[in-house]
Amino acid sequence: MPARLNVLFASLIVVCSALATTSHSQAQQAERWAAEGWKTDFTRTTIDLAEIRSGGPPRDGIPPIDEPKFVPVSEAELKPIDPLIALTINGDARAYPLAVMTYHEIVNDTVGGKPVAVTYCPLCNAAITFDAAVNGKALTFGTTGKLRKSDLVMYDRATDSWWQQFSGEAIVGEMVGTSLKMVPSRLESWHRFKAQHPDGKVLVPNNPAMRPYGRNPYVGYDTSRLPFLYDGDLPEGIEPMARVVLARPEAAAPIAISVDRLRRESPVQHGGLIFSWEAGQASALDSASISAGRDVGNIVVSDSAGEDVVHDITFAFVAHAFKPGLEILQ
């Protein structure tokens, strides 16, 4: 056999052996998860199952909120700089304080008559709201206790399919090929929400004694040198834990801008969008008390008509992990 064919044949053997090993490893992983009680169809996946790792808690060990309790703005007891997720649909304005979201990560809710999943992944600082209706059916979501690229992996209760919180994509199970539609929401301070929505509602714990609400279990995380439970590539030219605004306009490519740039130059116009920054919001991932977190500011991303655009404020390593070819404007 000619030398070139010998090399090619040997290469094919190596590739086939690697694929067989990967397939065997994925099958073993699926068996372990099935033993945990998952009914997920692990033969259907868009990822390498080895990318999924335990985050520590078991399934719903971080319990989602299924029957959210709200109080009027006038009754809420928050400090002006307290961070929250602000969501308004059809005039129904609701605030989901990170003091609560940190300990639940998912709220299955109906806002303005629309079913939604309001989500927050502390390790990625990703606050993303999804339209929970898929093919005309409203889904509810829980926490798998798993992470991928340091990001929350959710599951839907109808099929036990697993979903990537950062992208809204079903990555394992029957729903593979389906993506949840993101709904515009903001990370903003209590002061701003209260001023804009005096008739709004504010999420409060169903059982205030259930968790140490208002305490940050990730003290110093967003000023650390490296991310937690992450072993992927790191971005070049920017600190991995630097805050980044990732805008996801519906009919255009995503845009990433560092928060440091917005702090220096706000407002910034790019790609037909307007990015603005204003002081007055505490980091939920800094000090032991969320209310005492350093000021990371409020960010709004809007289009030329002044309408909010889907975006989140995450870390540079996250933007790089999920959008590896995307330039972060600094």
Amino acid at site 12 = L
Task: Read off the pTM.
Answer: 0.91
Give me the mean pLDDT over the 94-105 stretch: 98
- Give 130-175 as a DSSP string: EE-EETTEE--EEEEEEEETTEEEEEETTT--EEETTTTEEEESTT
Question: Strands 255-258, 328-329: parallel, antiparallel or unpaired by DSSP?
Answer: parallel
Coil/strand/helix, residue 52: strand
- Please write the tens of the pLDDT for every residue from 100-134: 999 999 999 999 999 999 999 999 999 999 999 99
> Partners of 126 in the beta sheet?
121
Per-residue pLDDT tens over the stretch 9-58:
344 333 333 334 445 577 888 889 999 999 999 999 999 999 999 999 99
Q: CATH classification of 69-204 is 3.10.580.10, yes or no?
A: no
Using the predicted structure, report yes or no on whether residue 5 has a pLDDT greater than 80: no
DSSP 255: E
Using CA atoms, how far residue 189 sits from 54, 96, 142, 233, in Å, is 32, 11, 26, 32
Q: Where do the structural domains in the chain lie, given as residue ranges? A: 69-204, 221-329
- pLDDT single digits (tens) 216-239: 999 999 999 999 999 999 999 999
- For residue 95, what is the enclosing H or E element? strand 92-97
**Greatest C-alpha distance within the chain:** 84
| Residue in 315, 293, 323, 320 with CA at minimum distance from that of residue 243 | 315
> Phi and psi dihedrals of 220, rounded to 5?
75, 10
Cα separations (Å) of 30 from 15, 20, 27, 44, 165? 22, 15, 5, 11, 20
Of 228, 245, 238, which Cα lies nearest the Cα of 297?
Answer: 245
The pLDDT tens digits of the residues spanning 287-323 come to: 999 999 999 999 999 999 999 999 999 999 999 999 9
Compute the C-alpha angle 8/14/19, nearest 5°. 125
Which pairing describes strands 133-134 and 137-138: parallel, antiparallel, or unpaired?
antiparallel
Residue 4: per-residue pLDDT: 41
Mean pLDDT value across residues 161-174: 98
The pLDDT assigned to 15 comes to 33
